[in-house]
Amino acid sequence: MEIVAPAKINLTLEVLGRRTDGFHEIKSVLQTIDLYDRLEVEDGPDLTVECDDPSLQNESNLVWQAALALAEHARIRAHARIVLHKVIPVGMGLGGGSSDAAAALLALDLLWGLGFSFDELAGVAAGVGSDVAFFLCGGTALASGRGEIVHPVPPLQSLPMTLVCPWETIPDKTRRVYSSVTPGNYGTGRRTEELLQILNGGRFVPESMHNGLEEVCLGLFPGLLDLKKEVSRAVASVSMVSGAGPALFCLPTTEVEHGGIADALKPYAARVYRVRTIGQRQDIPR
């Protein structure tokens, strides 16, 4: 069977404070976009995970961890051959690894004939990674807790956007970003609630987007501030860092604006994608 794994952006991300377990409490509106990895899943005597990105072909891959977690929950031996084809840039704040893990859970639930409910799969997903539960459905959703508590919200209409990914990230990115957060970066959740009210009214206002980590990201990632300035010169739309960065996005953008961004960023050799926001996943592995 085959299944796709979409990327995501954060329309809002507010860090509310540090929890006693060492994680940070967040509130975020997440949105999937039509930039996909692809998984091929078939039966096999043992568990194997292959990937066309050699750096991901090891047991730290979240696909591997998701398969083991699901098998342990079901009290069976993990057995499958999974081939992961990567398109979503790694380490950019787009949730590719978490999305791959969620796709693996959905496919293996069918392959192994488990028939688990969404809530049961979400429980397994939460143990694999903070964003994994969101990707079981995708679309537009409110994430809270450390990101594992997910509630669908009125969907954002399909909108075109430009996604900009630098070629380089930083080692141990997520930990370094969150460890650099100070109380001055904390939010109250107000910005997220304001966006939810707008979405509940059937509208979307790009100026309502917010990322409480953006200041931290612009200080940590070499060259990211210059990229953002170039994007701001090329397009009238609001640009923002996604998640813990360093990917930037503008939403919405026209074809002309997208071309302007691509031209402006040629000296930086950044990857520039023309994508759209998408609703909840409808695909079922076959």
Q: What is the DSSP string of 92-125?
A: SSS-HHHHHHHHHHHHHHHHTT----HHHHHHHH
Phi, psi of 175 (to 5 degrees): -65, -40
What's the first-to-final CA gap in the chain, in angstroms? 5
- 3-class secondary structure, 216: helix
Share of the chain above pLDDT 90, in %: 90
When pLDDT is cut at 50, 70 and 90, the band that residue 242 belongs to is: very high
Tell me the residue length of the chain: 286
Residue 229: other Cβ atoms inside 10 A: 12
Residue 286 has pLDDT above 60, yes or no: no
Residues recognised as catalytic: 8, 131
156, amino acid identity: L
- State the Cα–Cα distance between residues 240 and 29, nearest whole angstrom: 14
Both 121 and 238 in one domain: the answer is no
Residue 201 has pLDDT above 80, yes or no: yes
pTM flag (> 0.85): yes
Does a structural domain hold residue 283? no
Token pair belonging to 243:
């998640």
Domain count, the chain: 2
Both 146 and 189 in one domain: the answer is no
Both 147 and 103 in one domain: the answer is yes
Question: Given its phi and psi angles, is residue 174 left (phi above 0), alpha (psi -120 to 50 degrees) or beta?
Answer: alpha
Highest mean pLDDT among 33-37, 168-172, 249-253: 33-37
Q: Specify burial of residue 202 (Cβ count, 10 A radius: 0-12, 13-18, 19+).
A: exposed
Predicted confidence at residue 58, as pLDDT, reads 83
Contact 94, 273 (CB under 8 A): no
**pLDDT, tens only, 18-28:** 999 989 999 99
Mean pLDDT, residues 38-67: 93
Both 108 and 188 in one domain: the answer is no
**pLDDT, tens only, 67-99:** 999 999 999 999 999 999 999 999 999 999 999
What is the average pLDDT score of the chain? 95
Cβ contacts of 20 within 8 Å, gap of 6 or more: none
Residue 26 forms beta bridges with which residues?
Answer: 15, 145
Cβ contacts of 22 within 8 Å, gap of 6 or more: none
Predicted confidence at residue 285, as pLDDT, reads 64
Does a structural domain hold residue 285? no
Both 130 and 82 in one domain: the answer is yes
**pLDDT, tens only, 255-283:** 999 999 999 999 998 999 999 999 998 87
Which of 106, 134, 152 is the last residue in one of the domains? 152
Token pair belonging to 284:
């079922």
Mean pLDDT, residues 117-140: 95
Range of the domain at 208: 160-276
Both 264 and 175 in one domain: the answer is yes
Both 78 and 172 in one domain: the answer is no
Q: Which residue has the higher pLDDT, 140 or 59?
A: 140
